[in-house]
């Protein structure tokens, strides 16, 4: 395939992804991505069963790389904030691993799909393969801004992408994306555990649901684990964060005494005051339930308000 056709398909893929994110938000279902879009009468799926994916319409370079939730490969962000994406298998010369190397040499942009929970992904693009480590069975990946999108060159460049202003910008963007992916992963795992409803009021409109930290993520003890989270609607998340409401270690809701004494219409009466003494909804698996020790720390902070 010539470089013009390859560029046309990649550009269409990036445009289509942007449209899907505008429609569905940045967490996309696998079925949608596996179906993809049609260009010039050809269907272009964006991911498949394997992590390194090249649709039939492309002949040389993959279009995407995927980290699946609970998958067999340990793709990790290193201390430098960059993604280390694992080879397929243990043979550096496997044709899919060679295709990553080829994409690096030609500086071709790809899509990175990060699995949050089974069947749901965040799409990140454009990403570039910027380093190859056959001994470590991995490549290094950096994210770039679409405003600086480059579709590569016809001739192979050096096997190692040279350090440049592009590298510094990409390193910064990749570190920012890492934070975003962790936040999205925490939200999805918490909402999944709570069966996508508010733990206080059972509201099921996902657009209005958030993952509240029991111990804030800025705190060293505030790890992004489900047992440190509670699924709450936007109203109750704000009330919890501003200590209008506390959760006791026995999973009972307590409303601050001065808030209980207020008279301010039906919303306060039913949505806040009416929760006092009720039990929150908790996940069925014990390991996913709020950690009583963390709740005790947060509850003491709540008690300091009165």
Strand ranges for the chain from DSSP E = 27-29, 37-39, 42-44, 52-53, 64-67, 76-77, 83-86, 110-117, 120-133, 138-143, 209-213, 229-233, 245-247, 253-255
Please tell me the pTM assigned to this model.
0.81
Mean pLDDT of 32-53: 95
The average pLDDT across 87-103 equals 94
Contact between 209 and 271 under an 8 Å Cβ cutoff? The reply is no
Q: What is the mean pLDDT of the chain?
A: 91
What band does 70 get if pLDDT is binned at 50, 70 and 90?
Answer: confident
Q: How confident is the model at residue 1 (pLDDT cuts 50, 70, 90)?
A: low
Using the predicted structure, report yes or no on whether residue 175 has a pLDDT greater than 80.
yes
d(CA 51, CA 190): 25
pLDDT over 90, % of the chain: 77
- Supply the DSSP symbol for 252: B
pLDDT value of position 133: 94
Which tokens in the block code for residue 297? 């720390």
| Cis peptide bond upstream of 259, omega within 30 | no
- The predicted-structure confidence for 103-159, as pLDDT tens digits, reads as follows 999 999 999 999 998 999 999 999 999 999 999 999 999 999 988 787 875 444 443
């Amino acid at each position: 395939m010539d470089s013009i056709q390859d560029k046309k398909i990649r550009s269409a893929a990036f445009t289509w992804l942007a449209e899907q994110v505008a429609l569905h938000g940045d967490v996309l279902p696998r079925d949608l991505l596996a179906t993809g879009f049609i260009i010039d009468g050809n269907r272009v799926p964006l991911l498949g069963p394997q992590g390194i994916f090249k649709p039939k319409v492309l002949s040389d370079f993959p279009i995407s790389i995927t980290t699946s939730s609970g998958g067999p490969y340990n793709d990790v962000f290193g201390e430098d904030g960059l993604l280390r994406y694992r080879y397929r298998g243990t043979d550096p010369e496997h044709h899919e691993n060679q295709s990553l190397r080829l994409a690096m040499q030609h500086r071709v942009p790809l899509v990175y799909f990060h699995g949050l929970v089974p069947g749901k992904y965040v799409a990140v693009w454009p990403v570039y393969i910027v380093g190859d480590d056959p001994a470590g069975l991995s490549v290094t990946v950096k994210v770039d801004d679409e405003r600086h999108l480059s579709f590569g060159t016809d001739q192979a460049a050096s096997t190692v992408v040279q350090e440049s202003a592009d590298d510094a910008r990409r390193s910064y963007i990749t570190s920012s994306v890492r934070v975003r992916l962790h936040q999205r992963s925490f939200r999805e795992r918490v909402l999944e555990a709570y069966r996508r409803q508010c733990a206080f009021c059972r509201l099921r409109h996902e657009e209005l649901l958030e993952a509240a930290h029991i111990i804030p993520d800025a705190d060293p003890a505030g790890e992004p684990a489900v047992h440190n989270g509670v699924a709450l609607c936007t109203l109750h998340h704000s009330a919890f964060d501003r200590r209008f409401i506390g959760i006791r270690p026995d999973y009972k809701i307590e409303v601050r005494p001065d808030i209980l004494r207020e008279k301010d219409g039906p919303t306060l009466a039913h949505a806040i005051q009416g929760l006092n003494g009720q039990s929150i909804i908790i996940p069925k698996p014990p390991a996913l339930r709020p950690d009583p020790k963390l709740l005790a720390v947060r509850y003491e902070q709540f008690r300091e308000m009165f």
